Amino acid sequence: MRLIATILVGASLFTGAASAASETTLKTSKEDAVFPRPAQLEGAVSFWRKIFAEYSENQVVIHSMDYPNKIYGVLDYRDDAARGVDKTTIRTRAREDERAARDKIERLLKLVHANRKTPQKLDPEARKVYELFADIDDPNVYRDQLDRVRSQRGLRERTGNAMAVSGRYLPNMEAVFKSYQLPVGLTRLPLVESSFNVDAYSKVGAAGIWQFMPSSARIYMRLDEVVDDRRDPWFATDGAARHLRDDYALLQQWPLAVTAYNYGRMGLARALKAVDGSTLEDLLDDFDGRRFGFASRNFYAEFLAALDVARNRDRYYKDVQPEKRLDFDVITTANYVPYETLRELASIDEASFRRLNPAYQDEVVAGKLYIPPHHEVRVPAGLGKTFKLAYAGLGQGRVFDRQRVYWIQHRVARGETLGGIAHRYGSSIRDIQQANGIRNPRLIRIGQTIKVPPRDTPRDSSGVVIAAAAPSLQSTVLQHRIASGDTLGAIARRYGSSVSDIQRANGISDPRLIRIGQTIKVPASGVSAQAAVMTHRVRSGDTLGGIADRYDTTVSALKALNGISNPRSLRSGQVIRLQEAATADGGLQELAYSKASSEPSYRLHRVESGQTLSAISRRYGISSARLSSYNGLTDPDQVRAGTLLKVPER
């Protein structure tokens, strides 16, 4: 049976013991001073605490986007789930019911707004809506809530699982954050980002428990054909600690630094400047940036709520016990070696080996690529000595002095060209044409899968890919300029080197004693200078300011790096450099940018007969100019009935 809870049950869904538990005063911590709780966030924190710890995944909360704790009601499917109704069916029903609930609530909001001065005329259901916002001192609050109705599925089950799984990693995570002199409470951010799901992958490309985007991952860890350190909880935690340390170094307040982890530190700094503010409260009150939507505005409140739940695990999850910490020994490879060979030496099954070494790409696990020299491989604690002896005894045919030849498989997306694909992978149009038998580079189609030869792979006179000899440690020596957040370990992983080799090359006795601006020599193996270059291909509608926002850099830095005198002169297809390349005789100088935020948040509005852009703008409380710009309208007077407009969130 389809079960829909009564809409508009009031500001608090739960009653009795559950409600009382959620309002109990939480125990304090010395970190309360580090992570302050602005009064204006109290309602949002309470809301998210219930989402994490009380609402089931089979409940959908219908609430206000502007005031999350203003709850219209709940769609409850727990009985359906108990009767064995499958999740797909429940989700389908929920989507239909959410649409119906929004329509009903918006009708009631319109009715209440029209009768706000005579609430006694309202029927009981409309009166509940009136009372829900009665404490808001704004005569237009009901009108403003139109199209501000949001649904949120409960996370109790996911959070409970995260409480258990986090036990594998938290001891190490807390030690890493302490080593950087950072508040250990920050290690609970993955409760918000991923629920400690190592395999988490978002629709915008963020991955791992810390949900790094590729752009920021390439600053703080290694991401290439062999490994994706975002999926490695240990390497990713070290990167996240340095990321947050850099966020705090710029913004000097943890509420801002935590928010910057979602929004981007440079973007947040510009937002503060735009409103002449200095705190998160200033941004929440005054900033109306297009990207500063519901997710960013609520990120710090979600973090505080997750911290509360983690501190009070015994209250919310009495039957959940953290899993045992994953202990291991670390061995460094000296050759190119197959993944399966190392797994066999570890004498453990595939799932256990993968759990300890989750960063390796599918091509490596499948044997299409080897694990290169100087890679750290984890084996169960106590097996390190036995593993080293077995590794030393590997004969010819089991270790190699060169990487395997392979193809990258790429599925062509809308708007892509062969030239753009070649540039992305460091290949060439000619090599891709030869690999795929493509005569005309313009004749590729959306959805087509093409083989892309890897970067820097030698070819014989006929153009056939041949195997490359493995470079020695002295064959390529790069110079790297130390940037904020760098460690020798991260630099070594990035260039396929090792900490000890870098120490020897530079006479560094203590790897912790490096300074920002220092130039060091990096004996690199298996990485090209080109691999260090990051670029952006301009698309229709891009601006230099928008590109700077996306990658958390500045317009002036991009102008200087690309020799751009007029930022308005960008053309579609132009390649913008985001950082300088490492060369054998020059340094690597990166621009400071961090994680790209999620996609801009907007809602859709279908233009009705007789509506003007001005009327639509007034309805949503934004300017006509902003609405025109957001939709690329050259003539605002030409909007036609039936047109779908994107309306950015305020």
Q: What is the pLDDT of residues 3-23, one digit of tens each?
A: 444 444 433 333 232 333 333
For residues 93-104, give the mean pLDDT.
Answer: 93
For residues 76-92, give the mean pLDDT.
Answer: 92
- Name the DSSP letter for residue 122: S
- Name the DSSP letter for residue 583: B
Q: Is the pLDDT of residue 548 over 80?
A: no
Under a CB-based contact definition with an 8 Å cutoff, are residues 496 and 464 in contact?
Answer: no
Give the other-Cβ count within 10 Å of 321's Cβ. Answer: 11
Which range, of 158-172, 274-288, 383-397, 430-444, averages the lowest pLDDT? 430-444
Q: Is the pLDDT of residue 595 over 60?
A: no
Q: Which amino acid belongs to residue 135? A: D
For residues 152-178, give the mean pLDDT.
Answer: 94
Tokens 């304090």 — which residue?
Answer: 28
Q: At 522, which helix (H) or strand (E)?
A: strand 519-523
For residues 422-438, give the mean pLDDT.
Answer: 81
Q: Is the pLDDT of residue 55 over 90?
A: yes
* Residues 494-524: b if buried by 16+ CB within 10 A, e if exposed: bbbbbbebbbebeebeeeeebeeeeebbbbb
- Name the DSSP letter for residue 367: T
User: In percent, how much of the chain has pLDDT > 90?
Assistant: 42
Q: Is the pLDDT of residue 439 over 60?
A: yes
Token pair in block for residue 193:
């980002």
Token pair in block for residue 556:
């002036």
Q: Is the pLDDT of residue 469 over 80?
A: no
Which range, of 79-88, 262-271, 506-515, averages the lowest pLDDT? 506-515
CA 399 to chain centre: 36
Q: Is the pLDDT of residue 227 over 60?
A: yes
Which carries the bigger pLDDT value, residue 445 or residue 535?
A: 445
CA 177 to chain centre: 20
Distance CA 338, CA 21 (A): 53
For residues 579-605, give the mean pLDDT.
Answer: 40
pLDDT in tens, 144-163: 999 899 999 999 999 999 99
Which one, of 614, 619, 618, lies nearest residue 639 by Cα?
Answer: 614
For residues 134-139, give the mean pLDDT.
Answer: 90
- Exposure of 648 by Cβ count < 10 A (0-12 exposed, 13-18 middle, 19+ buried)? buried
DSSP per position, 194-251: TTT-TT-B-TTS-BTTTTB-HHHHHHHS-BSSSBBGGG-HHHHHHHHHHHHHHHHHHH
Torsion sign over Cα 100, 102, 108, 111: negative
Rounded to the nearest integer, the mean pLDDT of the chain is: 79
For residues 414-433, give the mean pLDDT.
Answer: 83
Q: Is the pLDDT of residue 530 over 80?
A: no
Under a CB-based contact definition with an 8 Å cutoff, are residues 639 and 611 in contact?
Answer: yes
Torsion sign over Cα 117, 120, 122, 126: positive
State residue 553's pLDDT score.
67
pLDDT category of residue 90 using cuts at 50, 70 and 90? very high
Distance CA 574, CA 583 (A): 23
Which range, of 402-411, 521-530, 607-616, averages the lowest pLDDT? 521-530
Which one, of 3, 189, 151, 180, lies nearest residue 71 by Cα?
Answer: 151
State residue 575's pLDDT score.
76
Distance CA 176, CA 614 (A): 53
Distance CA 147, CA 144 (A): 8
Give the other-Cβ count within 10 Å of 531's Cβ. Answer: 20
pLDDT category of residue 426 using cuts at 50, 70 and 90? confident
pLDDT category of residue 459 using cuts at 50, 70 and 90? very low
Q: Is the pLDDT of residue 257 over 50?
A: yes
pTM for this one? 0.65
Distance CA 146, CA 136 (A): 15
Which one, of 27, 356, 307, lies nearest residue 184 by Cα?
Answer: 307
State residue 627's pLDDT score.
75
Distance CA 427, CA 60 (A): 48
Which carries the bigger pLDDT value, residue 407 or residue 143?
A: 143
Torsion sign over Cα 55, 61, 67, 71: negative
Q: Is the pLDDT of residue 302 over 60?
A: yes
